[in-house]
Amino acid sequence: MYIHREGKKAIVAISLILIVVDVITAFIPVEFIFKLIIPAPFIVLFLLIPWFFRIPSRTPLIDESIVVAPADGKVVVIEKINETEYFKDERIQVSIFMSPLNVHQNTYPIGGTITYTKYHKGDYLVAWHPKSSQLNERCSIVIKDAKGTEIMVKQIAGAVARRICNYSKPGSLVNQCDELGFIKFGSRVDVILPVSAKILCDLNQVSRNKLTKIAQLS
């Protein structure tokens, strides 16, 4: 296990805050107990950051015919939709809800070429809201595999998660299970699949990025 680079920035920031708070409280004429209470929330946050930004060591599932989960969490939606942003036809949507306690790294469910990326400003509805895929702040990424099949991954911000980090660049070649991005403090990731895909996961199933089989492509 290691700490994601986004977490290292947070550790530096909270460390500086702790130093400032310690210096200030050292000169405040209050009881000793209050000198311990004042920095306590920052100490708790400092201890939690490594957990929030952890990246566990995993041997990824590499199979060009399999769509692998791009996120840790729970499968909350499996349904047919009319996709209007890119494909503009009927697709199957599989949505994974990421709680604040899940690993927040997102990975590519298939390997191939990035054919489309777009960031959308939006609202911050709770991630399980039916309209969050269309109304929330989000980032859409389309990957085309060697056979020409395209799938879309949507990183969606929620009521708590207010920072989407996306590292995809149009035209670049990516490997299955490479890092796609990061959503700070959870939220939701949608996978938009062809209707011909065979779904291999179940509703309410716990998913693990790089490991859980989401679907099989024809």
Q: Is residue 9 part of a domain?
A: yes
Specify the pLDDT at position 34.
Answer: 61
Q: Which domain holds residue 27?
A: 2-55
187 is catalytic: yes
- Quote the CA–CA distance of 39 and 150 in Å, as a whole number: 50
pLDDT category of residue 11 using cuts at 50, 70 and 90: confident
Q: Is residue 109 part of a domain?
A: yes
Residues 32 and 136 placed together within one structural domain of the fold: no
Residues 94 and 156 placed together within one structural domain of the fold: yes
Specify the pLDDT at position 161.
Answer: 55
Q: Model-level pTM?
A: 0.82
Q: Is residue 61 part of a domain?
A: no
Number of independent structural domains in the chain: 2
- Catalytic pick from 187, 196, 207, 218? 187
Specify the pLDDT at position 162.
Answer: 60
- Quote the CA–CA distance of 8 and 50 in Å, as a whole number: 9
pLDDT digits (tens, 9 = 90+) for 36-52: 677 777 777 777 778 78
pLDDT at 152 exceeding the cut of 80: yes
pLDDT at 35 exceeding the cut of 80: no
Mean confidence (pLDDT) of the chain: 86
The answer for residues whose C-beta is within 8 angstroms of residue 16's C-beta and 6 or more apart is none
Retrieve residue 132's tokens.
């969050």
CB 120 within 8 A of CB 137: yes
Residue 37 has what DSSP assignment? Answer: H
Residues 9 and 79 placed together within one structural domain of the fold: no
Domain boundary (10, 27, 55) is at: 55
Give the residue with greater pLDDT, 200 vs 8: 200
What CATH code is carried by the domain that includes residue 85? 2.70.70.10
Position 39, amino acid: P
Residues 131 and 184 placed together within one structural domain of the fold: yes
